[in-house]
Structure 1
């Protein structure tokens, strides 16, 4: 009996210690398993409400009704079209050729102009309803599902710059909510999950919006006054705070960045918006991977952005691009709607004059250069932005004078579950954005190595956290093998 009692006095404390250690020393690996996540926090009654501004439902109630009431009473032609592309940097000043490829009957142009005018007439009243926290700054991103791992890499790169800006990441609906990411991973990095359907579904007029349209909603529904709208695959290279607290943003309240190409909007769009047709050489097409907007200065512009995007897939995306697809991506997107809205209302804006620069790699087997990233520049340096050179590294003067602000990873997404395959099959065992020496010279650090380190982090520490990776295996092992090859 004495030996039995002694064993109990030893075993019970050990058992209690073991249980305590499991609970408080860190989450055991089985807590990361998808089956656990699916049953412990993703049901509707376990999802906490998004911290939207209290007045947002009333604003959207009125705005949604106005958007529907001003629907164009016509359809656009659906046959394939392809506007000719002109490299904007090589255009001569005064070049004004603008193709008119959409065969829209004049009566339909008139209908669209009347619908546009009806909505514009309601903008002043709707703009007064737009809610936001005055004198605040932050970042809005639309990302969920397969974009969530990509966004997390961008977020971690943002924090590497020293930025402390609050980030609101917008998800389409409650089915996109991911408990571990939203409640454990993001809050320490000052980021918050926002569920768009909480507002979209709270009003009688239920509008269906998805894909590119969600960016306009993220911009409108964000709680900030001064907003950086950022794509999930866009990597800040400096603290965005500096861009929001200096010229040209302070005076204009609106800053956009250029794409490679000249704008190819149909001249009929300008007739509909009742604006003069600008010369093609006046400004480039827009890279909407990043955008700065002040709601206190541009609430009317934001309303018209919503109008162009709600009616975008059926009308305005095609009017503003005249092209179904070209090169590496779909051009009928939201990208031209933001600047078009400001121009249609004669609002103030600044478009960055420094051309987009290209990052890439030279293929081993054929020595061909392959683009793999877009670098956008600091608008504060635009006094110097007069060069037409748009290949990073070819102008020492440009490198020394104009600061890079964003790296848009528009070719290879920074997803640890996919990059190991891209690396082996397409990049063929080499870096994707150039040599280490060149990158350090351009950015003051090896940005590509930092991005791979963040992909390694997401692949190994969050391998079982993302819903998009639920059926994948060995993400950590595969991305680790690539990282070791490159940097160890």
Structure 2
């Protein structure tokens, strides 16, 4: 039996080596480029963002696990997810065989061993800040809604739209070349950036959850606010990056929370280098639609997250988020930061030299999101909105909560520090992990993002399905009673979105039918004397 196992393992290693040799031959051999109908070639600055794609994909391939894919024994339904800050372990988490664990640990170790070096070669334009999103070409209409709300908030941040498919329909080409540019957004095709084509051509198509880390890498910005196309900025997000604005100034990484508890398998932490398994009660799971990261301070965090996403479908998604079907990559960024901190404390990882003198940490939002669900006629679940807080408000709410409670659970030394230089202490990861289930509430009007679930906010395909109807069949507002929206944002953002979307799509060629329907809906629900023409 042992001989059979040895032969099987040897065969796998030989196969892995052959795949690597094939990859290298593809990597350094030119190929003709048949790209269908892509956009015009990227600008020099956009091409410059990915001059290290060849090395990036080479490092990923060199650290490929040889084990068979990990498959959970059961896939729990969303109702099986549990509330955050629980202290009860999940009995349904996947466990790895000894051989699988050895394979994943080996690949992880190889990638981490070269991570600090690779991180120093991540390319971006220093001291630049902007918003990044990744979309399929057929979701550009939904992206327009996000951009309209962004500009309505008063934001002047530039936006880079990373397209997940190089083959674009004519409508998408038109939007990228005119409509999106009018909203301060530029389309980027990583497939046209230097080094991508030959290095990535042999790989299967990437899933949407894998594209998030790729989009941030492909972007030219140093400081990035990543937003899903379905995440609407209802307040101006520019303040996140203001000089000395916390928590970004002291951490360089901000993640938002969902309403569930993390469900990572304990075997993941063994794979990652035998690091301590975090207590379940220390945080909630990560929200998938919004992330802030400084690529200078957190280049290694970003690249390790990209590694987890690259091998996510076969290995790391079942380990990190086995209960999540919609966005299994949601935990990869915060987990990467946690892993590198732990390995650094153990002395098995050393961060890039140039980041050692900079403030670097992580901030996981403590204010729980507010959930609003609108049911359609007959009680069928419809649109769900997850309202996420302004991180500056979250930071000050945590400080206030700690001052009010005097953090009695800490040691005397911690209390003395808190009363003195508490602003440094509160962004220290070790201290934050000890806060347990400390939760805080924001003030009214301090929500910054609405993550919209359900019917897509794509007004280029607007239909009556986007709006609920009452028992008499009359249209109702998309998000229901406007009072809760105004109470949490200070504005009637639903009305403003319909107004701006109507003006935008009525100004585009080929959308006459949608324009007439949108005007009709607007007149019946929002401002009767508007759009009568």
TM superposition score category, shorter chain reference: 0.7 to 0.9
Alignment map for 1:261-340 (pairs within 5 Å): 261-274=260-273, 275-323=275-323, 325=325, 330-331=326-327, 333-340=328-335
One of 163, 174, 179 as aligned partner of 1:185: 179
2:517 and 2:291 mapped to 1: Cα distance?
A: 35
Give 1:486's aligned residue.
525
Q: Could you say if the C-alpha distance between residues 261 and 312 of structure 1 is closer, same or farther in structure 2, counting changes exceeding 3 Å?
A: same
State which drifts further: 280-289 or 432-441. 432-441
Q: Could you say if the C-alpha distance between residues 51 and 186 of structure 1 is closer, same or farther in structure 2, counting changes exceeding 3 Å?
A: farther
- Quote how far apart the aligned CAs of 1:252 are: 0.4
- Quote how far apart the aligned CAs of 1:417 are: 4.5
One of 411, 417, 428 as aligned partner of 2:454: 411
Q: Could you say if the C-alpha distance between residues 378 and 167 of structure 1 is closer, same or farther in structure 2, counting changes exceeding 3 Å?
A: same
If the length of structure 1 is used for normalisation, what is the TM-score?
0.79
One of 369, 384, 392 as aligned partner of 1:372: 384
Alignment map for 1:72-471 (pairs within 5 Å): 72-75=65-68, 76-77=70-71, 79-82=73-76, 84-88=80-84, 91=85, 95-99=87-91, 101-176=93-168, 178-199=172-193, 201-206=196-201, 207-208=203-204, 209-245=206-242, 246-274=245-273, 275-323=275-323, 325=325, 330-331=326-327, 333-346=328-341, 348-361=361-374, 372-382=384-394, 383-384=396-397, 398=441, 400=443, 403-423=446-466, 429-462=475-508, 464=510
If the length of structure 2 is used for normalisation, what is the TM-score?
0.73
Q: Which runs of 5+ in 2 are unaligned?
A: 1-34, 342-359, 403-439, 529-533
- 1:31-50 Cα distance to aligned partner (Å, 9 max, x none): xxxxxxxxxxx975872424
Secondary structure of 1:86's aligned partner: coil
2:198 and 2:504 mapped to 1: Cα distance?
A: 37
2:376 and 2:47 mapped to 1: Cα distance?
A: 53
CA contact (8 A) 1:384 1:402 kept: no
- 1:459-485 Cα distance to aligned partner (Å, 9 max, x none): 4333637xxxxxxx8222333332222
- Quote how far apart the aligned CAs of 1:440 are: 2.1
CA contact (8 A) 1:96 1:279 kept: no
- Quote how far apart the aligned CAs of 1:359 are: 2.4
CA contact (8 A) 2:445 2:489 kept: no
Q: Could you say if the C-alpha distance between residues 108 and 362 of structure 1 is closer, same or farther in structure 2, counting changes exceeding 3 Å?
A: closer
1:129 and 1:426 mapped to 2: Cα distance?
A: 54
Secondary structure of 1:261's aligned partner: coil
2:92 and 2:377 mapped to 1: Cα distance?
A: 42
Secondary structure of 2:177's aligned partner: helix
- 1:122-180 Cα distance to aligned partner (Å, 9 max, x none): 11111111011111101111123221011011111101111111100011243127332
Q: Could you say if the C-alpha distance between residues 402 and 363 of structure 1 is closer, same or farther in structure 2, counting changes exceeding 3 Å?
A: same
Q: Could you say if the C-alpha distance between residues 46 and 72 of structure 1 is closer, same or farther in structure 2, counting changes exceeding 3 Å?
A: closer
Q: Could you say if the C-alpha distance between residues 46 and 365 of structure 1 is closer, same or farther in structure 2, counting changes exceeding 3 Å?
A: closer
- Quote how far apart the aligned CAs of 1:443 are: 1.4
Q: Could you say if the C-alpha distance between residues 292 and 111 of structure 1 is closer, same or farther in structure 2, counting changes exceeding 3 Å?
A: same
Q: CA RMSD in A?
A: 2.7
- Quote how far apart the aligned CAs of 1:457 are: 3.3
Q: Could you say if the C-alpha distance between residues 312 and 482 of structure 1 is closer, same or farther in structure 2, counting changes exceeding 3 Å?
A: same
Q: Which runs of 5+ in 1 are unaligned?
A: 1-41, 388-396, 466-472
2:36 and 2:98 mapped to 1: Cα distance?
A: 51
